[in-house]
Amino acid sequence: MNVILISLITLGVVGAVSAIILFFVAKKFHVYEDPRIDQVEQALPGANCGGCGFPGCRGFADACVKADTLDGLLCPVGGNETMQKVAGILGKSAVEAVPTVAVVRCAGTCEHRPRMNEYDGVKHCFIAHNLYSGETGCSFGCLGLGDCEVACEFDAIHVNPVTKLPEVDEDKCTSCGACVKACPKLLIELRKKGPKSRRIYVACRNEDKGHITRKSCEVGCIGCGKCLKVCPHDAITITNNLAFIDDSKCKLCRKCVEVCPTNAIVELNFPPRKPKVETAEAPKEPVNA
């Protein structure tokens, strides 16, 4: 009986003293954390993809709370809806961000871009890129080994086994930018999703002179400048024999698509064109933007 009593008292005293010490230590070294960080983190999708440029969702939440305005802070996965929620919690206003999506700037399928040799090394774009320029004559084009596919956490990009080109699933793509970083050929770009997902872009990165590009790929940009001349909005620039469409200036008139001799300019999700007789008038009517 005595033994039990002694042990109970000893343990009780030790516990009580420890509790007092812990209580004062906790008071002394208390770190104030804004409770809103937790709230913001709750509102975020929790993908921890790093697409916002911060280490995980909590890092982003922390940055949102600390920032004076929400300018430049965007959760690409959650998009506007999430940012509105975050803005609501913090009592700040979120700038309406234009949704973007990843596009692959290479259209050189097996049929357009003949294979000149066979790569039997490691199926890893970066390793192949380090070794040599690729199976085709185009040293700028897609290697098709799927580094982007591995990098994507949202199952949104897949290499098509027939064309050997990656294809982006628009519904799943959150434009986190993981594939952009993974591509050693810098082929993937985040572009404005566009109204009704309509987009026009140059699906080529080949900076060779026209005749060299022509030899290696049927659909490569040869830098002829036809699109530059026809564009009424000054959205197109040509540097190093390669056209680029600025998505902030492009009004989706599709004139450049028509004049491109190699079909290097790609239009996505547009309704089928009207028969040829009417095309002369078609550009006059405003595009349903």
Partner 1 sequence: MKTFRMGGIHPKENKFSAGKKIRTAEIPKQVAIPLSHYVGSPSESVVKKGDMVKVGQMIGKANGFISANVHSSVSGKVNKIDVQLDASGYKRPAVFIDVEGDEWIETIDRSTDIKRECNLSKEEIIKKIQDAGIVGLGGATFPAHVKLSPPPGKKAEILIINAVECESYLTCDHQLMLEKGEEILVGVTIIMKALGVSKAVVGIENNKKDAIEHLTELAKSFTGIEVMPLKVRYPQGGEKQLIDAVIRRQVPSGRIPIEVGAVVQNVGTTYAIYEAVQKNKPMFERILTVTGKDAPNPGNYLVRLGVYLQNVVDQAGGVPAGTGKIVGGGPMMGRSLMNLSVPMAKGSAGVLFMKDEESVRKPIKNCIRCAKCVSVCPMGLEPYLLMTQSERNMWPEMEGNRVMDCIECGSCSYTCPSNRPLLDYIRFGKTTVGGIIRSRK
Is 131 among the residues that bind partner 1 (CB under 8 A)? yes
Contacting range for partner 1; rule: CB under 8 A; set: 98-106, 128-136, 249-257, 281-289: 128-136
Q: Is the dihedral of CA 245, 249, 254, 255 positive or negative?
A: negative
249-286 burial, b at 16+ Cβ within 10 Å, e below that, comes to ebebbbbbbbebebebbbebebeeeeeeeeeeebeeee
Beta strands in 7-139 (DSSP E): 100-104
Shortest distance, position 189 Cβ to partner 1, whole Å = 22
Using CB under 8 A as the binding rule, whether residue 133 contacts partner 1 is answered as yes
Residue 96 identity (one-letter amino acid): E
Phi, psi of 166, rounded to the nearest 5 degrees:
-75, 145
Residues 103-122 that bind partner 1 (CB under 8 A): 116-117, 120-122
In sequence order, what DSSP letters do the residues of 89-106 get, joined into one string? HHT-----PPPEEEEE--
Residue 132 binds to partner 1 (criterion: CB under 8 A)? yes
Residue 26 backbone phi and psi in degrees, to 5: -60, -40
Stretch touching partner 1 by CB under 8 A, among 82-90, 125-133, 226-234, 278-286: 125-133
Indicate whether 208 belongs to the interface with partner 1 (CB under 8 A).
yes
Minimum CB–partner distance for residue 44 and partner 1 (Å) = 25
Please report, as residue ranges, which positions from 140 to 199 form the binding site for partner 1 (by CB under 8 A).
none
CB of 122 to partner 1, least distance (A): 5
Give the closest residue to 145 by CA, choosing from 176, 184, 105, 101. 184
Taking CB under 8 A as the rule, does residue 127 contact partner 1?
A: yes
Q: Among 134, 144, 177, 194, indicate the residue that binds partner 1 (CB under 8 A).
A: 134
Residues lying near partner 1 in the complex (CB under 8 A) are found at 116-117, 120-122, 124, 126-127, 130-134, 139, 208
